[in-house]
Amino acid sequence: MSKVKQQKPLCVWNPKPLKRVKPTNKKRLREREKTNPFSFLGQLIPLAKTGLPLWMLGLAADRLRADMNRLLSFLFHQGILDEQFLQLQQLQDETSPNFVSEVVNIYFHESEKLLRNLRSLLMDREFSDYNKMGIHLNQFMGSSSSIGAKRIRNVCLAFRAASDQNNRAGCLSALEVLEHEYCFLKNKLHELFQIQQQRVLAAGVRYPMQH
Protein backbone atom coordinates (compact mmCIF):
# COMPACT_ATOMS: atom_id res chain seq x y z
CA MET A 1 0.00 0.00 0.00
CA SER A 2 1.23 3.46 -0.84
CA LYS A 3 1.74 5.79 2.03
CA VAL A 4 -0.71 8.67 2.25
CA LYS A 5 1.13 11.97 2.30
CA GLN A 6 0.21 14.13 5.22
CA GLN A 7 -1.04 17.56 4.25
CA LYS A 8 0.94 20.48 5.55
CA PRO A 9 -0.90 22.46 8.21
CA LEU A 10 -2.48 25.71 7.10
CA CYS A 11 -0.48 27.59 9.68
CA VAL A 12 2.97 26.57 10.91
CA TRP A 13 3.58 28.54 14.08
CA ASN A 14 5.75 27.73 17.06
CA PRO A 15 4.99 30.20 19.82
CA LYS A 16 7.20 30.80 22.79
CA PRO A 17 5.69 29.56 26.06
CA LEU A 18 3.61 32.22 27.77
CA LYS A 19 3.87 33.07 31.41
CA ARG A 20 0.87 31.89 33.35
CA VAL A 21 -1.43 34.76 34.18
CA LYS A 22 -2.35 34.85 37.81
CA PRO A 23 -6.10 34.54 38.39
CA THR A 24 -6.02 37.64 40.52
CA ASN A 25 -4.52 39.74 37.73
CA LYS A 26 -7.80 40.22 35.84
CA LYS A 27 -6.68 43.41 34.14
CA ARG A 28 -3.79 41.73 32.31
CA LEU A 29 -6.04 38.82 31.35
CA ARG A 30 -8.61 41.17 29.82
CA GLU A 31 -5.89 43.01 27.88
CA ARG A 32 -4.54 39.76 26.47
CA GLU A 33 -7.99 38.59 25.43
CA LYS A 34 -8.63 41.90 23.68
CA THR A 35 -5.45 41.39 21.66
CA ASN A 36 -6.30 37.79 20.80
CA PRO A 37 -9.82 36.63 21.69
CA PHE A 38 -8.82 33.01 20.95
CA SER A 39 -6.31 32.89 23.80
CA PHE A 40 -8.77 30.89 25.89
CA LEU A 41 -7.64 27.81 23.91
CA GLY A 42 -4.51 27.70 26.06
CA GLN A 43 -2.01 29.45 23.84
CA LEU A 44 -2.13 32.40 21.51
CA ILE A 45 -3.27 31.54 18.01
CA PRO A 46 -1.86 33.58 15.07
CA LEU A 47 -4.40 36.00 13.72
CA ALA A 48 -4.81 37.53 10.29
CA LYS A 49 -5.60 41.21 9.86
CA THR A 50 -9.28 40.31 9.86
CA GLY A 51 -8.97 39.21 13.49
CA LEU A 52 -9.68 35.54 12.66
CA PRO A 53 -7.23 32.65 13.11
CA LEU A 54 -5.39 31.78 9.92
CA TRP A 55 -6.74 28.23 9.91
CA MET A 56 -10.30 29.64 9.96
CA LEU A 57 -9.47 31.83 6.97
CA GLY A 58 -8.34 28.76 5.07
CA LEU A 59 -11.63 27.00 5.72
CA ALA A 60 -13.57 30.14 4.82
CA ALA A 61 -11.67 30.47 1.53
CA ASP A 62 -12.53 26.87 0.59
CA ARG A 63 -16.20 27.40 1.42
CA LEU A 64 -16.35 30.64 -0.58
CA ARG A 65 -14.67 28.99 -3.56
CA ALA A 66 -17.31 26.26 -3.48
CA ASP A 67 -20.09 28.86 -3.22
CA MET A 68 -18.71 30.75 -6.22
CA ASN A 69 -18.39 27.58 -8.31
CA ARG A 70 -21.98 26.57 -7.48
CA LEU A 71 -23.30 30.00 -8.49
CA LEU A 72 -21.34 30.03 -11.75
CA SER A 73 -22.49 26.50 -12.52
CA PHE A 74 -26.10 27.58 -12.02
CA LEU A 75 -25.69 30.65 -14.26
CA PHE A 76 -24.17 28.58 -17.07
CA HIS A 77 -26.62 25.68 -16.70
CA GLN A 78 -29.58 28.06 -16.95
CA GLY A 79 -28.15 29.71 -20.06
CA ILE A 80 -27.79 33.06 -18.31
CA LEU A 81 -24.05 33.30 -19.07
CA ASP A 82 -21.86 31.79 -21.78
CA GLU A 83 -18.14 31.21 -22.35
CA GLN A 84 -17.50 34.91 -23.06
CA PHE A 85 -17.83 35.57 -19.33
CA LEU A 86 -15.10 32.98 -18.66
CA GLN A 87 -12.85 34.77 -21.13
CA LEU A 88 -13.36 37.99 -19.19
CA GLN A 89 -12.38 36.22 -15.98
CA GLN A 90 -9.16 34.98 -17.59
CA LEU A 91 -8.11 38.61 -18.15
CA GLN A 92 -8.32 39.33 -14.42
CA ASP A 93 -5.24 38.93 -12.24
CA GLU A 94 -3.50 40.55 -9.27
CA THR A 95 -2.53 43.55 -11.38
CA SER A 96 -6.18 44.15 -12.34
CA PRO A 97 -8.21 42.47 -9.56
CA ASN A 98 -11.39 44.40 -10.36
CA PHE A 99 -11.32 43.97 -14.12
CA VAL A 100 -14.48 41.85 -14.46
CA SER A 101 -16.56 43.86 -11.99
CA GLU A 102 -15.50 47.14 -13.62
CA VAL A 103 -16.46 45.91 -17.11
CA VAL A 104 -19.77 44.54 -15.83
CA ASN A 105 -20.56 47.74 -13.93
CA ILE A 106 -20.08 49.73 -17.14
CA TYR A 107 -22.44 47.28 -18.83
CA PHE A 108 -25.03 47.79 -16.06
CA HIS A 109 -24.78 51.58 -16.38
CA GLU A 110 -25.22 51.55 -20.16
CA SER A 111 -27.96 48.91 -20.04
CA GLU A 112 -30.10 50.93 -17.65
CA LYS A 113 -29.90 53.91 -19.99
CA LEU A 114 -30.96 51.72 -22.90
CA LEU A 115 -33.86 50.25 -20.93
CA ARG A 116 -35.06 53.73 -20.01
CA ASN A 117 -34.87 54.80 -23.65
CA LEU A 118 -36.77 51.74 -24.84
CA ARG A 119 -39.53 52.24 -22.28
CA SER A 120 -39.75 55.94 -23.07
CA LEU A 121 -40.21 55.17 -26.77
CA LEU A 122 -42.94 52.58 -26.16
CA MET A 123 -44.81 54.77 -23.66
CA ASP A 124 -45.22 57.48 -26.30
CA ARG A 125 -48.69 57.02 -27.77
CA GLU A 126 -47.55 58.49 -31.07
CA PHE A 127 -44.51 56.24 -31.27
CA SER A 128 -43.68 54.97 -34.74
CA ASP A 129 -39.88 55.12 -34.93
CA TYR A 130 -39.09 51.39 -34.87
CA ASN A 131 -35.74 52.06 -36.54
CA LYS A 132 -34.61 54.03 -33.48
CA MET A 133 -35.75 51.16 -31.27
CA GLY A 134 -33.74 48.78 -33.43
CA ILE A 135 -30.61 50.87 -32.87
CA HIS A 136 -31.05 50.67 -29.09
CA LEU A 137 -31.61 46.93 -29.27
CA ASN A 138 -28.52 46.39 -31.42
CA GLN A 139 -26.46 48.26 -28.81
CA PHE A 140 -27.99 46.14 -26.06
CA MET A 141 -27.29 42.90 -27.93
CA GLY A 142 -23.67 43.91 -28.61
CA SER A 143 -22.87 44.88 -25.03
CA SER A 144 -24.63 41.78 -23.66
CA SER A 145 -22.61 39.54 -25.97
CA SER A 146 -19.37 41.22 -24.86
CA ILE A 147 -19.83 40.15 -21.22
CA GLY A 148 -21.43 36.78 -21.96
CA ALA A 149 -25.00 37.72 -20.97
CA LYS A 150 -26.46 35.03 -23.21
CA ARG A 151 -30.08 35.04 -22.06
CA ILE A 152 -30.40 38.82 -22.26
CA ARG A 153 -28.96 38.74 -25.78
CA ASN A 154 -31.57 36.14 -26.78
CA VAL A 155 -34.39 38.27 -25.33
CA CYS A 156 -33.05 41.22 -27.34
CA LEU A 157 -33.23 39.09 -30.49
CA ALA A 158 -36.92 38.32 -29.84
CA PHE A 159 -37.51 41.99 -29.04
CA ARG A 160 -35.84 42.96 -32.32
CA ALA A 161 -38.06 40.54 -34.26
CA ALA A 162 -41.19 42.20 -32.80
CA SER A 163 -39.74 45.62 -33.61
CA ASP A 164 -39.02 44.63 -37.23
CA GLN A 165 -42.69 43.70 -37.56
CA ASN A 166 -43.83 47.02 -36.00
CA ASN A 167 -45.55 44.92 -33.36
CA ARG A 168 -46.05 47.32 -30.47
CA ALA A 169 -47.78 44.80 -28.20
CA GLY A 170 -45.00 42.30 -28.84
CA CYS A 171 -42.41 44.97 -28.06
CA LEU A 172 -44.08 45.84 -24.76
CA SER A 173 -44.16 42.19 -23.78
CA ALA A 174 -40.52 41.73 -24.77
CA LEU A 175 -39.53 44.82 -22.78
CA GLU A 176 -41.07 43.39 -19.62
CA VAL A 177 -39.14 40.15 -20.10
CA LEU A 178 -35.95 42.08 -20.81
CA GLU A 179 -36.28 44.19 -17.66
CA HIS A 180 -36.88 41.06 -15.59
CA GLU A 181 -33.89 39.23 -17.06
CA TYR A 182 -31.67 42.27 -16.58
CA CYS A 183 -32.58 42.62 -12.90
CA PHE A 184 -32.04 38.90 -12.33
CA LEU A 185 -28.60 38.98 -13.97
CA LYS A 186 -27.58 42.10 -12.05
CA ASN A 187 -28.53 40.57 -8.70
CA LYS A 188 -26.72 37.32 -9.44
CA LEU A 189 -23.52 39.01 -10.62
CA HIS A 190 -23.50 41.29 -7.61
CA GLU A 191 -23.80 38.17 -5.47
CA LEU A 192 -20.88 36.63 -7.35
CA PHE A 193 -18.69 39.71 -6.88
CA GLN A 194 -19.47 39.82 -3.16
CA ILE A 195 -18.30 36.21 -2.82
CA GLN A 196 -15.12 37.07 -4.74
CA GLN A 197 -14.42 40.01 -2.41
CA GLN A 198 -14.91 37.77 0.61
CA ARG A 199 -12.48 35.26 -0.93
CA VAL A 200 -9.88 37.99 -1.28
CA LEU A 201 -10.28 38.91 2.38
CA ALA A 202 -10.14 35.27 3.44
CA ALA A 203 -7.01 34.69 1.40
CA GLY A 204 -5.35 37.74 2.90
CA VAL A 205 -4.65 39.37 -0.46
CA ARG A 206 -3.92 43.05 -0.01
CA TYR A 207 -5.05 44.75 -3.18
CA PRO A 208 -8.05 47.11 -3.15
CA MET A 209 -11.53 45.82 -3.89
CA GLN A 210 -14.35 47.73 -5.54
CA HIS A 211 -17.29 48.68 -3.32
- pLDDT tens for 52-97 read 444 444 556 778 888 889 999 999 999 999 999 999 999 988 888 8
Q: Is the pLDDT of residue 37 over 70?
A: no
Domains of the chain: residue spans and CATH:
57-89+99-204 (1.20.120.160)
Nearest CA to 142 out of 110, 167, 168 is that of 110
pLDDT, tens digit, 9 for 90 and up, residues 136-152: 999 999 999 999 999 99
Alpha-carbon distance of 75 to 67, in angstroms, equals: 13
pLDDT for the residue numbered 25: 54
Average pLDDT, rounded, for the chain: 78
Name the β-bridge partners of 65.
Answer: none
| 73 vs 26: which has the higher pLDDT | 73
**CB-neighbour burial class of residue 104 (10 A; exposed 0-12, middle 13-18, buried 19+):** buried
CA distances, 196 to each of 71, 114, 202, 210, 211 (Å): 11, 28, 10, 11, 12
Digit-coded pLDDT (tens) for 146-173: 999 999 999 999 999 999 999 999 999 9
pLDDT surpassing 70 at residue 30: no
